[in-house]
Structure 1
Amino acid sequence: MTGSSSPTATAACSGAAIATGWHAGLELLAAALDARPIDWDVWRRAADLEHLRGVIVTESLHTDGDRSVLRMERRFRHPRAQVWRALTEPGHLSQWFPARVEFALEAGADVSFDWGDGSGPAVDGRVTEVSPGRLLAFTWGDELLRFALRDDGDGCLLEFTHVFDDRYGAASFASGWSQCFVGLGQVLAGEPVTAASPSAAQHDAFVDRFGLGAGVSSTVDGESRVRFERQLTAPAGVAWPVIERLADAPSAGVVERDEPKALAYTARGGAQVRWELGDGTGHGARLVLTVTGPAADDPSWSARVADLARELRG
């Protein structure tokens, strides 16, 4: 089969947006985190659109060995056969999946992905499981996507699984797939795919939901170390000046400054601090903050990372 991605569908799948009732719930959480007024129009829009797109039932992130497993369930008010066609037929798939896809519906078949404009990763895959009308699974590079369908009353339940290595990219993946499934719901309803633009607030709500903002403590050469890794919602050039301000590095203590990639210094109190910005999921830069030595476990470091994320949300 062959599908071709549209710019709207590709952009929609790159991040989260406010559309269904669940997305409205995430917006409420994000508003509370930011201490800002709630946009009640979000709820009205969700109520107007929910009949098109079904309801997300559950979302969870687990670990299986050294890999991360994202599971999402979504109920559509359409029969299983119709949803299967939207998952596998080119004319439907092209409208909501983030890349043009080519494969035969048989286990072992090669899968190719084409982003059209060359912006996506050049990867291939292989079909791993097929049960017509019920199950489709294939690899996307070294990741696994699995779509399972089962009847649910007069509708259908989609059980989606994404297996990957980059745990700290999970919020990008979850928010992106959420928006893809908004598009899928619109396709099923015979409506144009008009998913909203990506939302940093929705992305960061998934960070909180999955517990991805916590630091990891260890001991290195007898000294305490805390490491934070966080997918940001803005590029390095935007994040850098905010980091410099939040870091509050004493000028005499700076040992490395490589804008917009790295800032290392000895903090007041003697801790060795390093902020690094690298490539992320495409949602923005990836932050790694390591603090070693005295006061490494001071909660103020976690607060600075949270403040950075909040400022980048705008």
Structure 2
Amino acid sequence: MPVTEPTRFQVRLRAPIDEVWQALTDPGALREWLSEYAEVELPSRYEFWGRYTPEGDRPRQRLLLAEDNVLRFAWSLGGTETVVEIVLAEDGGETSLAFSQSGLPDYAAMLADPDSSLGMMHTFWALSVANLVDHVEGRPLTARCDLTSPLMREEVQIGAPRGEVYSSIADPEVFTRWFGARIEAENHVGGRWAMGSLETDPDPAKIVDLVPGSKMSLAYQDGVVASWELDDSDGGTKLTFVQSGFSDERPPYGMWMGWLSGLAELRRFHELGAWRPLWVDVHLEGTPEGLLTLDGK
């Protein structure tokens, strides 16, 4: 695999820096938002593993540094030693978190093998960090991806009317706002749906089901189907998201974690009165220009 620049991103958390540091370094907190198992003994040990962690049959991390709000550890994945670094900084009463991980594939290589341990890192951290943010902000967490199970079905309660939630899924412009990546679509059954541009995507998904106010389903070229179903629930909306149409021997975990991280931001989009995108900056080498939209517009 060619050498690439470290993948990096920055997020903001509406919590004091000490609380965020504790969530990153306390094993009990890690077991809530990150992994099934975690053991931490600073300054010598930082390990997490289990069914929510790629290659999680045993710990594969080696602590390099944990002081002054900087956490750095090596993580061996797919025969490659990667290095993860997380740096916290105070930001006007909030906390800025800067993340980087070396040794990961670029955008094209990730798409070519999204379910390798290295290819899954991008969406693994997208989901994990979304849950870290909700953990320190006192909000419900999004389900983690069980990498030992082919079941891909999740129910999410959203504190907004069903019509509003449906519009945020069916309208490509609104979808783009909360999802953080540009969406273009022909909004009818049989229409094309693409992340990025319909002109440049050689294999766009197809809208195979569209029930106004209730349901939308996308079918991909590889047979995977992603479906959103909406029901009224307790004054808000119950969203059931299902991914199907794949071989149980090779579940598309990378895609599933990406969608789950999107559901976390969809809830924030509807429930936070002063919503702004969680993501401040994202760098993944080779990402097509204009794909990512991080300004919430």
* Shorter-normalised TM range: 0.3 to 0.5
Q: TM-score, normalised by structure 1?
A: 0.43
Q: TM-score, normalised by structure 2?
A: 0.45
Rg bigger for which structure?
A: 1
Higher helix share: 1
